[in-house]
């Protein structure tokens, strides 16, 4: 797990490239505190850099960027390949010899053997750049579930890539701001892929590789993997057996580490399952990390207690107080690579993990999206039906007082983006226009033009909700936040529910057995009913939430209306103080007006 960066610029000197890539890597040093390396191909002017957080093969042999034996291939890589041992064995059988015990070397040799087809054989979380001197090209590759980020930018003189958007400020080319980022942020609470806060800096889509031709500086993005949408499992019994089989396998595989490993354990269903499974395979060599609060409404320690009694894992509970929130708030904002209304919770729990000497932690992220844990799964049918009535009538929803009903306005959009924003959006276009002092139509056009994958056209009901949650909410917000917030402490978050085989399996289960009408995540519960205490699966969902509503109201730096010059913002912050606005909406105002 590391941070990577690189520049390709024919007209720059090698020294200049080395200097810029070093600066880019240094700006991400928090994510790779253990080692640093930069290489420049003097002839092709390809410079790759890496900041290393060593988890597999802690020795110097894992140093990056790494060359192939014949030095024709060089790689800068960020991530973990969970199946690297199996691939290695296969490659050894094919006659390859290995010098290190790192997964990086396996990627190189897999590429040497299978070429571009090797990417889909990698099971893990990864983002990498591979320079193939023989084919005179560079590849940027991102994992199938889009867990690890990878951003790129191309202008006339140079091609740049990095694990964080912030690093582009050190690339030697002054980046221009994306004038639309505030619109995106106020509508979504994050910046949707492929966009970023910088103009011409884009996110590489998950399951894709970008092939850059060094001969003419052209590039093309190729999808190398897509999750299956074909329904194959229609029997509940079979689904349960397969779910247990694949998830157990994924957890076992993801426990691979040469450094200490833990699990983020909230006490909710998903993290309880992961904790129980990880404990089975870790054989006592596991630490569970939890955040606790003085705020009674938010304390889940009673639920955690039930699980803790059943496992061997050492349990570490950290009290996070309002004082901690106030004292760390500026640092959290600084560590936020891209604007988001989430991730602060991850920042704190990963800080706790770090304080316990952990470098890797497993998380229950992904289960809600796959198995229908969110309210959107209940609302989607209503939303679909409302979407069928007159668009003009729907538009009048913006005059409604209730902020949730207000969002119905988004159903007047032609693009499915409108449905997502109706389910999960922050502000409606008219409010955004007032906040940014721009024309409403500009806001509407900007939001309607966000590109979406075609798959959504063919999905309905819960599957449609699941697609939105996986490809928009989780992809653009949860995974992105989790990556930069955890890496700011040098902690890697692993997500067994997003294991490529597990996701493939779940997407092949018929929705009628996958999603429960009366119970959320019914199928997952059915699968682990024997292992889980009843109190855990019968409890009401709380989510991974902190007492932010109370804390942010209390913190005058955020909640004082006097701090906001914009009339609409002032009014909204006043409603926030009267608890008529959710903290995430208020935080978005703070970020736009005070911390951007």
Partner 1 sequence: MPHKVLFLTLKVFGFTGGIEKVCRSICRSLYDLGEENIVEPTVYSMYDKYFDRDSRYLKKQQYHAFNEHRKYFVIKSLLKGIRSDVVILSHINLLSIGYLIKRFSPKTKVYLLAHGIEIWRKLPEPKLKALKRLDKIIAVSHFTAERIKSIHGTKEDKIEILNNCIDPFYFFPTKFSKPKPLLERYQLHPDQKILMSLSRVVSSEKYKGYDNTISILPHLIKKYPKLVYLIAGKSDDEEKLRLEKLITKHQIANHIKLIGFIDEAEITDHFLLSDIFVMPSKKEGFGIVFIEAMASGLSVIAGNKDGSVDALKNGELGKLVNPDDSSEIEKTLDELLKSPLNDNEKIALQKKVLKAFSYEKYRESIKKLIVYGTSYIMLL
Which residue's CB is nearer to partner 1, number 317 or number 461?
317
Q: Please choose, out of 200-208, 323-331, 436-444, 535-543, the segment that lies near partner 1 by the rule CB under 8 A.
A: 323-331
The nearest distance, CB 348 to partner 1, in angstroms, is 15
User: Taking the complex as a whole, how short is the minimal distance between the CB of residue 356 and partner 1, in angstroms?
Assistant: 20
Smallest distance from partner 1 to CB 545, Å: 12
Q: Judged by CB under 8 A, how many residues of this single chain contact partner 1?
A: 18
Query: Closest approach of Cβ 325 to partner 1, in Å?
Result: 8
> Is residue 134 a contact partner of residue 108, using CB atoms and an 8 Å limit?
no
Instruction: State yes or no: residue 540 binds partner 1 (CB under 8 A).
Output: no
Q: Does the footprint of partner 1 cover residue 323 (CB under 8 A)?
A: yes
Least distance from partner 1 to the Cβ atom of residue 303, Å = 15
For partner 1, the closer CB: 181 or 546? 546
Nearest to 263 by CA among 199, 327, 311, 197: 311
User: Which listed residue (60, 156, 230, 296) binds partner 1 by CB under 8 A?
Assistant: 296
Nearer to partner 1, 225 or 322 (CB): 322
By CB under 8 A, is residue 562 in contact with partner 1?
no
Nearer to partner 1, 414 or 578 (CB): 578
| CA gap 215, 10 in Å, rounded | 10
Q: Which helix (H) or strand (E) holds 520?
A: none
Tokens of 527: 């699968």
Q: Residue 118 CB: number of other CB atoms within 10 A?
A: 21
The answer to whether 73 and 130 are in contact (CB under 8 A) is yes
594 binds partner 1 (CB under 8 A): no
Kindly tell me which of 33 and 561 has the beta carbon lying closer to partner 1. Answer: 561
Q: Which of 547, 583, 585, 586 binds partner 1 (CB under 8 A)?
A: 547
* 297 near partner 1, rule: CB under 8 A: yes
- Closest CB 321 distance from partner 1, rounded Å: 7
Helices (H), 100-231: 103-114, 181-188
Tokens of 224: 């190398």
579 binds partner 1 (CB under 8 A): yes
The CA distance from 116 to 108, in Å, is 11
Instruction: For the chain, give the number of residues.
Output: 596
Sheet containing strand 151-154, edge to edge, reads 35-41, 46-52, 2-8, 159-162, 151-154, 201-203
Q: Which is nearer to partner 1, 442 or 574 (CB)?
A: 574
Q: At closest approach, how far in Å is the CB of 322 from partner 1?
A: 6
Q: How far is CA 234 from CA 367, 512, 519, in A?
A: 20, 8, 19
Nearest to 263 by CA among 291, 287, 279: 287
What H or E segment, with its residue span, contains residue 580?
none
Q: Which of 301, 327, 382, 512 contacts partner 1 by CB under 8 A?
A: 327
Is there binding between residue 586 and partner 1 (CB under 8 A)?
no
- Phi, psi torsion values for 213, nearest 5 degrees: -90, 120
Task: Out of 550, 563, 571, 584, name the contact with partner 1 by CB under 8 A.
Answer: 550
Q: Least distance from C-beta 268 to partner 1, angstroms?
A: 19
CB closer to partner 1, 567 vs 580: 580
What character string, x for contact with partner 1 (CB under 8 A) and - otherwise, covers 32-71? ----------------------------------------
| Least distance to partner 1, CB of residue 577, Å | 9
| Region of 257-265, 283-291, 529-537, 548-556 interacting with partner 1 (CB under 8 A) | 548-556
Only segment of 222-230, 465-473, 491-499, 554-562 that touches partner 1 (CB under 8 A)? 554-562
298 forms part of the interface with partner 1 (CB under 8 A):
yes
Tell me which stretch binds partner 1 (CB under 8 A): 61-69, 319-327, 451-459, 518-526: 319-327
- What is the token pair recorded at 301? 């320690």
Q: Is 542 in the site for partner 1 (CB under 8 A)?
A: no
Residue 208's CB is within 10 A of a number of other CB atoms, namely: 20
Determine the Cα–Cα distance for residues 14 and 21; give it in Å rounded to an integer: 11
Note whether 364 and 264 are within 8 A (CB).
Answer: yes
Sequence-separated (6 or more) residues with CB below 8 Å from residue 430: 398, 409, 440
Q: Interaction with partner 1 in 330-369: which residues (CB under 8 A)?
A: none
DSSP state of 540: P
Tell which one of 113, 114, 227, 322 touches partner 1 (CB under 8 A): 322
Burial class (CB in 10 A: 0-12, 13-18, 19+), 212: buried
Q: Which is nearer to partner 1, 14 or 294 (CB)?
A: 294
Tell me which residue of 394, 441, 395, 445 sits closest to 415, measured CA to CA.
445
Q: Which stretch binds partner 1 (CB under 8 A): 33-41, 48-56, 293-301, 561-569?
A: 293-301
- CA dihedral (413, 414, 420, 423) positive or negative: positive
Q: Is 294 in the site for partner 1 (CB under 8 A)?
A: yes
Torsion on CA atoms 525, 545, 183, 489, rounded to nearest 10 = -100
Instruction: Find out whether 566 and 159 touch, Cβ atoms under 8 Å.
Output: no
Closest distance of CB 437 from partner 1, Å = 30
- How far is Cα 450 from Cα 422, in angstroms, rounded to an integer? 15
Nearer to partner 1, 418 or 547 (CB): 547
Q: Which of 595, 525, 561 is nearest to 272 (CA)?
A: 525
Residues 177-236, interacting with partner 1 (CB under 8 A): none
* Residue nearer to partner 1 on the CB measure, 327 or 399: 327
Burial of 401 (0-12, 13-18, 19+ CB in 10 A): exposed
Task: Evaluate whether 275 touches 361 at the Cβ level (below 8 Å).
Answer: no
Among 321, 501, 504, 574, interactor with partner 1 by CB under 8 A: 321
Which range binds partner 1 by CB under 8 A, 13-21, 271-279, 280-288, 546-554?
546-554
Contact set with partner 1 (CB under 8 A): 294-298, 321-323, 325-327, 547, 550, 554-556, 578-579
């Amino acid at each position: 797990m590391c941070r990577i960066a690189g520049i390709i610029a024919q007209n720059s000197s090698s020294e200049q490239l080395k200097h810029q890539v070093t600066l880019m890597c240094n700006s991400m040093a928090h994510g790779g505190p253990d080692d640093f390396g930069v290489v420049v191909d003097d002839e092709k002017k390809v410079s790759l850099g890496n900041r290393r957080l060593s988890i597999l093969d802690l020795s110097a042999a894992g140093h990056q960027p790494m060359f192939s034996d014949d030095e024709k291939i060089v790689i800068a890589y960020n991530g973990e390949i969970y199946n690297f041992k199996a691939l290695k064995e296969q490659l050894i059988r094919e006659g390859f010899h290995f010098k290190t015990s790192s997964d990086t070397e396996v990627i190189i040799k897999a590429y040497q053997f299978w070429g571009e087809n090797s990417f889909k054989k990698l099971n893990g979380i990864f983002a990498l750049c591979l320079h193939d001197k023989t084919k005179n090209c560079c590849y940027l590759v991102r994992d199938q579930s889009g867990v690890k980020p990878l951003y790129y930018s191309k202008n006339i003189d140079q091609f740049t890539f990095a694990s964080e958007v912030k690093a582009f400020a050190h690339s030697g080319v002054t980046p221009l701001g994306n004038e639309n980022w505030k619109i995106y942020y106020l509508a979504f609470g994050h910046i949707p892929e492929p966009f970023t806060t910088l103009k011409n800096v884009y996110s590489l889509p998950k399951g894709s590789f970008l092939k850059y031709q060094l001969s003419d500086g052209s590039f093309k993005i190729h999808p190398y993997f897509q999750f299956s949408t074909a329904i194959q499992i229609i029997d509940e019994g079979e689904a349960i057996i397969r779910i247990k089989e694949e998830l157990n396998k994924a957890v076992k595989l993801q426990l691979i580490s040469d450094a200490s490993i833990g699990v983020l354990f909230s006490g909710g269903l998903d993290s309880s399952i992961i904790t129980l499974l990880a404990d089975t395979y870790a054989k006592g060599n596991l630490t569970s990390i939890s955040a606790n609060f003085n705020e009674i409404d938010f304390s889940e320690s009673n639920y955690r207690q039930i699980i803790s009694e059943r496992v061997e894992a050492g349990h570490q509970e950290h009290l996070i107080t309002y004082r901690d929130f106030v004292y760390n708030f500026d640092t959290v904002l600084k560590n936020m690579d891209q604007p988001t209304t989430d991730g602060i919770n991850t920042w704190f729990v990963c800080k706790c993990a770090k304080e316990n000497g952990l470098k890797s932690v497993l998380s229950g992220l992904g289960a809600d999206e796959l198995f229908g844990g969110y309210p959107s799964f209940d609302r989607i049918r209503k939303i679909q039906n409302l979407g069928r009535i007159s668009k003009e009538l729907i538009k009048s929803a913006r005059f409604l007082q209730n902020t949730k009903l207000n969002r119905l306005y988004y159903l007047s959009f032609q693009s499915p983006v409108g449905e997502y924003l109706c389910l999960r959006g922050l502000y409606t276009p008219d409010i955004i226009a007032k906040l940014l002092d721009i024309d409403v139509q500009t806001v509407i056009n900007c939001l309607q033009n966000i590109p979406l994958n075609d798959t959504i056209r063919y999905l309905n009901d819960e599957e449609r909700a699941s697609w939105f949650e996986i490809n928009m909410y989780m992809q653009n917000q949860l995974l992105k936040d989790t990556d930069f917030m955890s890496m700011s402490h040098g902690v890697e978050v692993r997500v067994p529910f997003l294991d490529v085989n597990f996701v493939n399996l779940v997407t092949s289960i018929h929705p009628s057995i996958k999603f429960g009408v009366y119970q959320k995540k019914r199928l997952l519960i059915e699968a682990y009913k024997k292992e889980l205490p009843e109190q855990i699966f019968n409890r009401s969902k709380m989510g991974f939430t902190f007492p932010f509503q109370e804390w942010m109201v209390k913190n005058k730096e955020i909640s004082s209306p006097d701090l906001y010059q914009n009339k609409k913002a002032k009014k909204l912050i006043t409603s926030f103080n009267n608890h008529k606005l959710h903290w995430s909406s208020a935080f978005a105002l703070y970020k736009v007006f005070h911390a951007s």
